[in-house]
């Protein structure tokens, strides 16, 4: 269908997003399809990852393609000073698609400009994480049965949390109301709030987790992103700002679901895992089906 790169969730139209979600549903019903036999896909990760890398690699394998790549750039010629441009030009000569995570904002866009094959952004600094967004939307659709008419409460590190930025942009295609729960130091950046204002989408801000806990359909918890802080003292001030536990969920909406891109540190107590509201582990599983859909759509097989 698409035959292009996925760098920002804004690269996809509403129709393309809905198409990927539909294809993901088919992959959830049938996980193993050899539709990409003969293809080779590179997963190159310049930053740590568990879910994104392993679910992309599993997706490649389940689609019948082969995967090459690295999870630690210190074992590559980057450690000898090779530039990102040269690395991407080389790798794109070998493979049919590059899936890349990199700490620098804008690195994925740059890679797509020098690559001869489609590039998927698996996270670029605090900027974007579009495959996470698509699996978040899939999880919202599966739990709520719709994408319109929902209230999403984003909690935690809204400044550096790239998943919240991508999700906000994607959900702007739908009738969504946002609550932003964050301390002053980690508020949603003004450019994203301006984006919502331009689109006529309502949002409320608070620094109290309790204030709007009972007013949302999706509680989107996030980890404080230690790796993005330049001053360790600033991180120490906010690292334990919110902690959700089961006793706080007594009056939430019956169908409310808690999402978290994971990993969590201590923002969700383990006693929440056994409540009917916890969805974050199933959300991570959904990543496999959605990433199978992304790869096959971008390569023109769906
Ligand atoms: N959600 C997410 O990106 O997790 P990983 O950092 O483990 O890939």
Q: From ligand 1's centre to the CA of 218, what distance in Å?
A: 19
**pLDDT computed for residue 237 by the predictor:** 85
Q: From ligand 1's centre to the CA of 251, what distance in Å?
A: 30
d(CA 223, CA 120): 23
Alpha carbon nearest to ligand 1 atom 5, residue = 49
Q: Is residue 184 part of a domain?
A: yes
Alpha carbon nearest to ligand 1 atom 3, residue = 52
The candidate with the shortest Cα–Cα distance to 70, out of 36, 104, 38, 94, is 94
Pair 267, 291 in one domain: no
- The atom number, within ligand 1, closest to the CA of 52 reads 8
The candidate with the shortest Cα–Cα distance to 163, out of 15, 6, 8, is 8
For residue 1, pLDDT over 60 is answered with no
Mutational pocket test of ligand 1: of 47, 261, 285, 287, the residue with most ligand atoms within 8 Å of the beta carbon: 261
The overall average pLDDT reported for the chain is 95
d(CA 246, CA 230): 33
Q: What is the pLDDT of residues 156-209, one digit of tens each?
A: 999 998 899 999 999 999 999 999 999 999 999 999 999 999 999 999 999 999
Pair 236, 252 in one domain: yes
Pair 97, 138 in one domain: no
Pair 45, 112 in one domain: yes
Pair 109, 166 in one domain: no
d(CA 116, CA 118): 7
Q: What is the pLDDT of residues 211-241, one digit of tens each?
A: 999 999 999 999 998 888 888 888 888 888 9
Q: Is residue 158 part of a domain?
A: yes
Q: What is the pLDDT of residues 132-169, one digit of tens each?
A: 999 999 999 999 999 999 999 999 999 998 899 999 99
Pair 162, 202 in one domain: yes
The candidate with the shortest Cα–Cα distance to 22, out of 248, 230, 296, is 296
Pair 135, 264 in one domain: yes
Structure tokens at 222: 């996030």
d(CA 45, CA 30): 28
Number of domains within the chain: 2
Pair 50, 116 in one domain: yes
d(CA 201, CA 102): 31
Q: Which domain holds residue 171?
A: 130-284
Task: Mention every residue, 6+ apart, whose C-beta is less than 8 A from residue 297.
Answer: 1, 2, 16, 19, 20, 23
Pair 110, 27 in one domain: yes
Q: Which spans in the chain are helix H?
A: 14-29, 51-62, 84-94, 107-114, 130-144, 162-171, 190-199, 232-238, 280-298
Domain with residue 278: its CATH number is 3.40.50.1370
């Amino acid at each position: 269908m698409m035959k292009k790169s996925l760098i920002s969730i804004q690269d996809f139209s509403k129709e393309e997003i809905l198409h990927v979600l539909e294809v993901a549903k088919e992959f959830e019903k049938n996980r193993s399809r050899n539709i990409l036999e003969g293809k080779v896909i590179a997963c190159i990760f310049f930053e740590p990852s568990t879910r994104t890398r392993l679910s992309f690699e599993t997706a490649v394998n389940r689609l019948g393609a082969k995967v090459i790549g690295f999870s630690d750039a210190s074992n590559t010629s980057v450690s000898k000073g090779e530039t990102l441009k040269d690395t991407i030009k080389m790798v794109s000569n070998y493979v049919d698609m590059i899936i890349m995570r990199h700490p620098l904002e804008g690195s994925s866009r740059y890679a797509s400009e020098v690559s001869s094959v489609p590039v998927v952004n698996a996270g670029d600094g605090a900027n974007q994480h579009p495959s996470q967004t698509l699996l978040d939307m899939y999880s919202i659709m599966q739990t709520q049965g719709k994408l319109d008419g929902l209230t999403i409460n984003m909690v935690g590190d809204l400044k550096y949390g790239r998943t919240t930025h991508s999700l906000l942009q994607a959900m702007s295609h739908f009738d969504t109301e946002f609550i932003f729960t964050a301390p002053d130091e980690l508020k949603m950046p003004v450019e994203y709030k301006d984006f919502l204002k331009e689109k006529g989408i309502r949002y409320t801000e608070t620094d109290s987790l309790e204030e709007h806990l009972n007013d949302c359909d999706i509680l989107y918890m996030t980890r404080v992103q230690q790796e993005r802080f330049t001053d360790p003292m600033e991180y120490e001030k906010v690292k334990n700002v919110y902690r959700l536990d089961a006793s706080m969920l007594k009056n939430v909406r019956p169908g409310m679901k808690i999402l978290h891109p994971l990993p969590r540190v201590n923002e969700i107590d383990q006693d929440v895992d056994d409540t009917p509201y916890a969805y974050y582990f199933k959300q991570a599983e959904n990543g496999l089906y959605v990433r199978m859909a992304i790869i096959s759509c971008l390569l023109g097989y769906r």
